[in-house]
Structure 1
Amino acid sequence: MSSSADKDRSMCERPSRATLAWALPYPALSLALVIWLALGLVEGDTATVVGCSVAAAAVVGVCALVTLSRDRIRGSYLADAGLLVAASVAAAFALEVSWCRGNLAVEPKFLALEAGFALLALLALYLVFQRRGIGAGIGVGVFCAMGLAQYFVRVHKGTAILPSDVLGMATAMSVAGGYVYKVDGTVILGIAIAAVGWCLCSLMHGREAASEKGRAPRRCKGAASEKGRAPRRRKLAVAGNLGVAAACVGSFVAMVVFVDFGVALGVHVDGWDTARSYERYGAITSFVAAAQDLEIPRPAGYSSAQAVADEQELADDHAASVDPDTRAAAQAQFAETRPSIVCVMNESFSDMSLYDGLGVGYEGPAYFNSIDDALVRGQLTVSTYAGGTCNTEFEFLTGNTLGYLGKGAYPYTLYDLSTTDNLASQLSSLDYDTCAIHPNLGTNWNREGIYAGFGFDEFLTIDEFEDAPQFHSGVTDAATYEEVLERLHGSSKPQFIFDVTMQNHSSYDQGNIDPGLLRDYEPDYLNESQAAELNEYLACIDASDRDLEWFIGELRKLDRPVLLVFFGDHQASVSAAVNDAMFPDEADQTHGTRMYLTNYLVWANYDVAGAGSIRVEEASSSTLGALALDAVGAPLSGYQEAQLGARLLMPTISALSYTDVEDRHHATGGLKTLAGADPNGDPAARARDAYLKLARVQYHRFAEHVQ
């Protein structure tokens, strides 16, 4: 008898299969941490790394012991409710701690709101899984994964995740293999907090307690009738659970749709530093606020008639600003010669000497800066930083600025652009052959569909560069230039070629560049890994500079007229650390503006009629196309003439700001209520007037057709 009782007790104390399954993630997490440490992929000072690792190991160990004892706990729905609340708090902290890279800075009210969002999500999943903790546990894992994603985006791009990044997920995944995924102590702590949330979810088994599986069936009168009603009750319970889960999801959707987070909660995502905003308001709250800003705002005073009048007025301003004889000579020359037009958008190309020579006497790309026979050159204001190449591309090809589209918009993934005016269709109408080149996947940023809609005759992707030489992150610039030259040699027709290069793509901790090509700068304001990234990036710029020198040399030899437009799409992420160190305590706009500057030049291999000495001017990626065509007398659309007219009072514009003629920056936005623009006022008022007029023109030309 005693032996039988001991056997029964032993079986009761042995963990069930469900409990063993719940406990599996703990050794998996511990093993992952050991592997990460062994591979040297945990960064930070030794004391912090060791402290965080030991603390995480202790937490995971305790969680494992608690989970293994879950069979002794008699669950109830009331207990599950308390565990859900606690797990939601853990999920919110796991998300924020994982990526904050320092002290948790989310304001308490927003952290509480985020925990509320987590509660809705975990409750919905709990109910979808029919009141079992595994659904909530999956939710905790998702929140932790969101924190990890935020961490890696911040490390590699210096920004937070925006709604448009989700829309461009396929492109992000295609280049993700080029990054090194190092973590720090905050990530380890965030995962440990997620383990606590998982542990809490493992203790939820109100559904199991209610069903009392394994209990002997009742033997009584009416048992058969009861058995017949059981399936119906189960179906009703399933439907009820799913209905409440749908209500949870609906509550969140209703809040997102009907509550303006900017007005009601005071959440304003700072375009200059999205990560800082996310730190203050919380990742989910900030993400929703950014998503609510994606709608293209209808400018104040807009009507089609007013937009047409504004376009004509701005175009007249441009016409009045140029010498008519000079313009006529350039236009006559262009009509006769019809030069081929080659536009190179060079990946991550910029001159980092603008950061006070990096404090080490850096003078920038030597050849690029030595070119003294360009038509126009200068700094280029762009709307993206450390990524989002397609936005600079969109602005250049279409002439539309993200300054009127809302922060965080990626038009290539948001809109049908097949009816949008662009350089390819414009030059095709002049009987130019058109070709786009990008030595990577054609699906990146939906380029295959976009280019087809734009009217490009051909699109050359990585498939045409299978055996091409590689440097750093891909096919060399020179290999794409060889393809351009082959096309210029192979046809006498005028050509428009748009070349999006690849070799300088991030990340800059790949360690795959010949040490002899590195500059070996060791600025005292950067740590060892940041200095290594800086030197790797500068080696890429040097390589692009050498390839550009060779390319222009070959263009000089051509016995046919060619216009070259060369520009960088955005700066590299390493510039954020440099900017913070070299220019501390600046106002946000002044500080942030510097990171949204690249460089451009407009150069021709023939003498352009009416061209005098080189012009050095600031430009925007949205106005560069019009500026380049105007420099050689090409026919301009009314929209392009209006852009050039607006430049007289508003020299640059981007997603974040526009400038007046005194180089003062003014934040974009407020178009729905913007009023009081005075064309006869001070420079700021005149810039505001141009800003509003061009907004109405762009809304008429673009927004009316895509939304």
Structure 2
Amino acid sequence: MKTTWIRKKGRLILACLLTAMLLVLTAMAYTAEGAGGWMLPLALFLSVAAGAYLLLAVRFGAVLNTAAAVLLPFCSMWLLQWYTCDPWRMYPKMILLNCIFFYTFYVGLAFLLGSFRLSYTIASLFAMVLGIANYFVIEFRSSPIVPWDLLSVGTAASVADNYTYSVTWRLLLVSLGFVFVILTGFKSTLKPRRLALRLPAFLLSAALLLGAGYAIQNDTVKDLFGMDQTLFTPTVRYRNNGFVAAFVGNLHLINVEEPDGYSAKRVEEIAASASSTASGSQTSRDRSTAGEETGEEQVLEAETEERETAAASETKTGEQMPNIIVIMDEAFSDLAYLGEFGTSEDYMPFFHSMMEEYPSGRLMVSVKGGNTANTEYEFLSGDTMAFLPAGSVVYQQYIKDEVPTLASYLRDLGYSTTAIHPYLASGWDRDTVYPLMGFEEFLDIDTFSDPLYIRNYISDESAFDKVIEVFENKEEGESAFIFEVTMQNHSGYSKEYPGFEESVFLTDYEESQKNTQIRAVEKYLTLIKASDSAFEKLIGYFETVEEPTVIVMFGDHQPSDYITNVISRLTGYDMESSLEEYQKTYEVPYVIWNNMGLELGENMELTSVNYLAACLLESLDLPLTQYQEFLLQLREELPVICAGAYIDKDGVYHSYSEEDAVYGDLLNDYNILQYNHLTDWKNRVDSVFAQPQS
């Protein structure tokens, strides 16, 4: 009797605590999004009902046990999908495939533990946590969880405190659904007791689960289920295929596939052809120019060529080489690329003025809202994420040994090579890969003395001061390559910080209309304005420097859809209307300040980041590797190549899922060179990637 009373009292306390917790979450959702029409009363009802359901002493018989065993895996699958999209938008056959994964996991765990109560509770709780995690990952970086995210847990944890984890009605109501699923599983009394039955049943379930996971890697099976295999829109792919099937279906992408016709000999042939074409083009241009001039013009031209040849000779022997400073600014982008919108002031006035005066344009990158390291790798290496698994991170997955990059190339020419990042050195494994990429020195957050912080990150002003410090401390007569990746503008943007106030405002909204999301956009624009001011200060310093110097600044990616969606609603921009419109959310600005009268090649208004270094080196008249010569020729045909699409010389956008009779072979040649450069590094043809041509 006493034991029964204690149990009832304990259940009552738990029920009250559960209801109280759910009511607090309801209040948080109300604060973040308002009443939401019918959502507030529904959430209040379900919060109280959950406590009552826990308190209710319902003993499950055969019918309820069977119903729970059959329905709960399906409900969990449905709810997991509902966190980020409408589950009924899944392809019908994919619903069946997701059910196979859920039922084999739930039932297999039940036979392993000998209790449906324990196993269904654990499995449902796991699905709920996974769904919430995926919800916030999409919120912060606009793409879902992928298998190789497990390699980035440390990097994600280091910045997790700087995000605001808002409770929305969708998040709350789906979680309430999971609460009822978990409570129902907890009330189950079904127990498979016979070990002789449990072990074979568990092994069969495990075999089915593993077999389904293996089968889904096969293209025939994917076609059978009608699986969406469009890699450049992962959120859409997860919506159509279901979270589990899409996640498991990504496993085969962990390994980089060898391109058609790959061999070391083929690498040499492609590179030799590029070198031959480059030499022929230069000779043809020289002859054409000479043929058009006569008399005094030819004499003047000859004298000019003599001076240029002497200057180039000095450059190529290590003298008078310009300092090269590259700043990849965190989340630095111009949201006006998505359409015009009103602001209280220009959020990047100096940068805009520099773009009118110096070589500049738009860069198309392969990431959005995160995975910064991929943009810096594309710039430093000349490789593209287009040939690598969607969502992969090169630094953590593929760099296992020394790899030729812009840093190692400049080091071998006699430059000092320094990388700067005002945050943890371990982020994206930079402390491991930077030395392998040719950086002689890496300055992380620990090397900054009393820096200025904006929010919880070192400001761009202090980050740029470190660039000046490195420049001033270099050896006299030495040419410096300084590569900096900043942190000031890192997401999230919703959280309030002492001492940080918005100074740039959206004028298309009344003050009373501004919710947390709109204010997050204003915080973001304020940060961009701070970066702009810091850049102006940096350029002001180098305008007083006599040494030949070039400063490249570009953004690593646009902010996540949480920010850009506000602008889209203002401008009517629809990212899903076409491939061209979708790719606009992958464009960032760049500018190349210099004190040398530098000019870039033609058609640089829109290009991709993998080309930028080669274009810069060509304009500086530095000797190029065969790989860089190939990239310059490739850019003439395909001025943009990134993970989501490529653009041909006529401005036509192409997806990688389409058959391309015109550019297919050219893309495959690029893939062959990159595979040898990055993946098959034990058989790398170093002369192609590391040795400048004379």
The answer, yes or no, to whether TM exceeds 0.5 is yes
**C-alpha root-mean-square deviation of aligned residues, in Å?**
3.3
Identity percentage of aligned residues? 25
Pairing 1:572–2:559 present: yes
Q: Where do 1:593-604 residues align within 5 Å?
A: 593-604=583-594
Whether 2:399 is the aligned partner of 1:411: answer: no
Query: For the residues of structure 2 that align with 1:114 and 1:412, how far apart are their CA atoms?
Result: 32
SS of 1:267's partner is coil
TM-score w.r.t. length of structure 1? 0.84
- In 2, the alpha carbon distance for the partners of 1:328 and 1:25 equals 83
Structure 1 counterpart of 2:156 = 172
2:504 aligns with one of 512, 518, 536: 518
- Contact 1:93–1:190 at 8 Å: present in 2 too? no
Deviation, structure 1 residue 133: 1.9
What pairs with 1:290-439 in structure 2 (closer than 5 Å)? 290-321=250-281, 328=309, 331-332=312-313, 334-335=315-316, 336-358=319-341, 365-371=348-354, 376-439=359-422
CA distance in 2 between partners of 1:239 and 1:284 (Å): 25
Deviation sequence 1:425-469 (CA, Å, 0-9, x none):
212222322221111111211111111322322222222236311
CA distance in 2 between counterparts of 1:663 and 1:675 reads 15
Superposed counterparts of 1:685-696, under 5 Å: 685=662, 687-696=663-672
Match of 2:25 among 32, 36, 47: 36
* 2:181 maps to 1:192: no
1:48-59 matches, cutoff 5 A = 48-59=38-49
AA aligned to 1:339 is P
Aligned pairs for 1:661-672 (under 5 A) are 661-669=649-657
Task: Give the Cα separation in 2 of the matches to 1:592 and 1:507.
Answer: 22
Q: Which amino acid aligns with 1:503?
A: Q
- State the alpha-carbon separation in 2 of the partners of residues 295 and 524 from structure 1: 51
> How far apart, CA to CA, are the structure 1 residues paired with 2:397 and 2:642?
18
Aligned to 1:228: none
SS in 2 for 1:386: coil
Cα pair distance change 1:89/1:368, threshold 3 Å:
same
Matched, 1:558 2:545: yes
2: CA distance between counterparts of 1:340 and 1:150? 44
Check 1:706–1:596 CA distance in 2 against 1; reply closer, same or farther (3 A cut).
farther
Determine if the alignment matches structure 1 residue 141 to structure 2 residue 117.
Answer: no
Contact 1:398 1:423 in 2 (8 A): yes
**Equivalent of residue 242 in structure 2, options 274, 282, 285:** 282
CA contact (8 A) 2:365 2:556 kept: yes
Q: Separation in 1 of the partners of 2:650 and 2:13?
A: 63
Between the aligned partners of 1:199 and 1:568, the Cα distance in structure 2 is 48
* 1:105-141 CA distance string (max 9 Å, x none): 3344323432331212222322332335212211101
- Conserved in 2, the CA contact under 8 Å of 1:650 and 1:661? yes
Note closer, same or farther for the CA distance 1:54–1:639 as it changes in structure 2 (3 Å cut): same
Cα distance change, pair 706–539 in 1 and its aligned pair in 2 (3 A): farther
- Cα distance change of structure 1 residues 189 and 668 upon mapping to structure 2, 3 Å threshold: same
Equivalent residue number for residue 227 of structure 1 = none
The within-5 A match list for 1:175-324 is 175-207=159-191, 210=193, 243-244=203-204, 246-258=206-218, 262-321=222-281
Shift of 1:31: 2.9
Tell me if structure 2 keeps the 8 A contact 1:123–1:248.
Answer: no
C-alpha distance in 1, partners of 2:190/2:578?
52
- Counterpart CA distance in 1 for 2:543 and 2:603 is 20
Q: For the residues of structure 2 that align with 1:328 and 1:15, how far apart are their CA atoms?
A: 94
Cα deviations across residues 388-433 of structure 1 (Å, max 9, x unaligned)? 1011011111111011123222212211342321122212222322
1:298-348 C-alpha deviation (Å, 9 max, x unpaired): 333433333322223334444555556598566335332122221111001
State the SS of the aligned residue for 1:161: coil
**CA–CA distance in 2 between the matches of 1:585 and 1:615?**
25
Paired letter, 1:334: T
State the Cα distance separating 1:62 from its structure 2 match.
4.6
2:624 to 616, 622, 636: 636
| Cα deviation 1:153-178 (Å, max 9, x = unaligned) | 22222332233433322212221111
Report the residue type matching 2:411 in the other structure.
S
Q: Secondary structure at the match of 1:156?
A: helix
Paired with 2:601 and 2:385, the residues of 1 have a C-alpha distance of 32
Matches within 5 A, 1:574-593: 574-579=563-568, 581-584=571-574, 587-593=577-583
- 2:97 paired with 1:113: yes
Moved more, 455-464 or 298-307: 298-307
Q: Which runs of 5+ in 1 are unaligned?
A: 1-6, 211-232, 677-684
Q: Is the 8 A contact 1:576 1:595 kept in 2?
A: no
What letter is aligned with 1:83? Answer: A
Matched, 1:536 2:523: yes
Does 1:626 pair with 2:581?
no
Bigger shift: residues 27-36 or 457-466: 27-36
3-state SS, counterpart of residue 563 of structure 1: strand
Question: CA separation in 2, counterparts of 1:365 and 1:174?
Answer: 29
Q: Secondary structure at the match of 2:180?
A: helix
* Pairwise CA distance, 1:373: 8.2
- Look up the equivalent residue of 2:615 and give its one-letter code: L
Answer yes or no: is the 8 Å Cα contact 1:92–1:114 preserved in 2. yes
* More divergent stretch after superposition (482-491 vs 285-294): 285-294
Structure-1 separation of matches of 2:216 and 2:308 = 52
SS in 2 for 1:342: strand
The whole-number CA distance in structure 2 between the counterparts of 1:170 and 1:486 is 30
| Corresponding residue SS for 1:168 | helix
> Which runs of no fewer than 5 residues in structure 2 stay unpaired?
287-304, 684-694
CA deviation after TM superposition for structure 1 residue 41, in Å = 5.3
For residues 576 and 178 of structure 2, the distance between their equivalents in structure 1, rounded to whole angstroms, comes to 37
Distance in 2 (CA, whole Å) between partners of 1:565 and 1:452 is: 22
